[in-house]
Amino acid sequence: MVSPLLQAVTVCSVTWFLWKFFRRFVVKTDLDNLPGPSSPSFIYGNLRQLYDRQAFKYHRRLGEEYGSVVRLHGRFGENILYTYDPKAMHHIVIKDQEVFQESNWFTRMLLHLFGPGLLSTLGDHHRKQRKMLNPVFSINHMRHMTPIFYDVCHKLRTAVEARVRSGAAEVDMVGWMGRTALELMGQAGLGYSFDPLVAEPKDQFGEALKNLMPTLSALRGMQQYFPLFEAIVPPGWRRPIANLVPWPAARRMVELRDILRRRSTEIYEEKKAALLSGDEALKQQVGEGKDLMSILLKANMEASEEDKLPEEELIGQISTLTFAAMDTTSNALSFTLWRLAQNPDAQAKLRQEILEAKDACGGGDIGYDDLVSLPYLDAVCRETLRIHVPAPLRFREAKQDIMLPLSEPIRGRDGKLMHQILVPKDTSVFVGIAASNTNKALWGEDAYEWKPERWLQPLPEKVLDAKIPGVYANLMTFWGGGRACIGFKFSQLEMKIVLADLISAFNFELSKPIYWNMAGVQYPSVDPRGDKPEMPMKVSLVKEAVRV
C-alpha cells in the first residue's frame, strides 16, 4: 500500500510539473505582446526555421519584417526573445551578464565533452580560469608566435603548390583551411603537431576534433535535452544506457568524447613532464616552449594557491581551446577566399599590398607589426567577419525575472509603445549577431554588401553612437563582456598570416557554385543539402609579372 507521504510527494510533483507547463498559456508576459512570426509547430516552434541549413533568409527576414526585438516560439509553446537592439545587447552581454548566462544544456554538454574548460564554467569559476588565461593571449605572446604561424603556413603553401605546379587545378580549400587551422592551434596553442600538411594526417585527436561538429549537427538539437537525461539517469548508468541508444550520432559522440579526454590528458602529461625537466626539454618539443599551453602551465605552477587551477581544469582547456579555435577560424578563412574569388579586383588589390610589404622586408615574411598594420588586409578581414559570422547561433538564458531596456521603443501587438521588456526567469534569449553586424539603420543601405573599403574611412556616426558591446570592431562576431572570445587576437593573426602567404603565391577563382550552411559553425558545400563540407576552387600560381 502506498504511504500517505509518497502520495503527497507524487501529487505535489505532478502539480508542479503541470503548472510549469501550462503557466505559459495562462500567465501572459511582455513577450506575448512582441511582434513576431507565427509558430508552424507546437512541438518545435520556430526552432527548425532558425536551425535550417539554409536559414539565412529567415534570419534576415526576422529583422526586416519585425524589427530588432522579436518574439519567437520554442518547444511546446515556450517564448523565445530574439533581439539585436544595441541597448538590450549591452545589458545581456555586459551589465546583466550574470543574469543572462549560457544555456544549461550547452554548458553541461561541453563539460561532459571536454571537461571543466573555459566554455563550460560560469560565474566566479569562469572568471578564475579567464584570469589565468588572459595573459597567455596578450599581444606580446602573439608577436612571439608569428614565426610558428609562418612555419605552418609555408607547409600549407608547399602542399597547395604541389597540386598546381603544372597548371591551374581544382583544390578543396575548406579542407586545407581546416587542416591548417588545426595545426596552427596545435603548434602555437599546445606545442603539439596534429598534421604535417605535406602528408596525410594520422592523428586520432585531430580527427576526433574534425568529426565533432558534423556529429553535433547530426544530433539535430537533441543535445538540448542532456540536462533532463542527467536528472533522470544516475551517473553510474549513463554510459551503459548511452551505448544502448539505437542512434549512431549519439554513440559516436561518446566515442569522440573518450578520445578527446584520453588524448588531452596524454598531451598535458607530456607537457608537464617537459616543464619539470627544465628549459632544454622544452626546446625539444614542438613550439620550443613558446606555445600557449606551456606558458599557461608555467604560470599556473608559479601562481598562488588561491589562483592556481587544478589539473582537471588545465586538461579541460586543451580540447576546449582547440575546438573553439579550429572550425571558426578555418571557415572564416574559407569565407574570405570565397569573397576574394568573387571579387578579383579586391583580390588583386590585396595581393599588391602584400607583395609590396614583402618587398619592404627583403622578400621574406612580413613581421608582426608590419602585418597587423596593412590597411587593406585588415579591411578584408573585418568586412568578412562583419558579413559572415562563423558561429552565428548565440543563446542566453535568464536566471531570474529582469527588466530589459531598449534603445528605441517598439510597438507591441496591442498598439502600445514598449520602452522596456520584462523578461521572465528561464526565458531563452537569441542574440542576433549577424543582424546586428548588418543592421541597415546603423551601417547604411549597403549593409548586406561586402565592401572592404568601408573600413578605410571613418565608420558611420550611427555605428559609433550605438555603442555595440562587441569586443572587436563595433561588431558582435567575437561577442563581448566577460565571455568574449578570449582568442580573437590569436584568430586575427592566423587569418592574416594565412592570407598573406596564400594570396601572394596563388590566384583563386570559383569553379562551382558554393552553398553556405547554417550551423553551430557555418560551413560551405557543393551540395545544397550540406551533407559534406567542401569548397572546391580553381587555384593557380601567381604569374611572375604580377609579382613585379
Q: Tell me how many degrees the CA angle 310-125-108 measures, rounded to the nearest 5.
A: 95
End-to-end Cα distance, the chain: 93
How far, in Å, are 48, 283, 426, 508 from residue 42 at the CA level?
A: 12, 60, 19, 46
Buried b (16+ CB within 10 A) or exposed e, 404-413: bebbeebebe
Ordered strands of the 169-172 beta sheet: 169-172, 536-541, 506-510
Smallest CA-to-CA distance from 462 within 441, 476, 438, 448 is with 441
- Grid coordinates representing 463 are 555605428
Strand partners, 506: 541
**Is residue 517 exposed (0-12), middle (13-18) or buried (19+ Cβ within 10 Å)?**
buried
Smallest CA-to-CA distance from 345 within 246, 450, 274, 248 is with 450
CB 522 within 8 A of CB 392: yes
- Grid coordinates representing 538 are 580553381
67: left (phi over 0), alpha (psi -120 to 50) or beta: left
The span from the CA of 38 to the CA of 372, in Å, is 47
Residue with cell 505582446: 33
Smallest CA-to-CA distance from 169 within 544, 540, 543 is with 540
Query: Which H or E element spans position 217?
Result: helix 204-218
CB 129 within 8 A of CB 137: no
Residue ranges of E strands in 102-204: 169-172
Strand partners, 100: 398
Query: Which H or E element spans position 397?
Result: strand 393-398
The span from the CA of 337 to the CA of 347, in Å, is 9
Is 381 assigned to a binding site? no
Tell me the residue length of the chain.
548
- Grid coordinates representing 87 are 541597448
364: Cβ–Cβ under 8 A, 6 or more apart, which residues? 358
- Grid coordinates representing 498 are 594565412
3-state DSSP assignment of residue 59 = helix
Task: Give the chain's count of helices (H) and strands (E).
Answer: 23, 12
Dmax over CA atoms of the chain, in Å, equals: 93
**Is residue 97 exposed (0-12), middle (13-18) or buried (19+ Cβ within 10 Å)?**
middle
Q: Which residues are annotated as a binding site for heme?
A: 485
Q: Which residues are annotated as a binding site?
A: 485
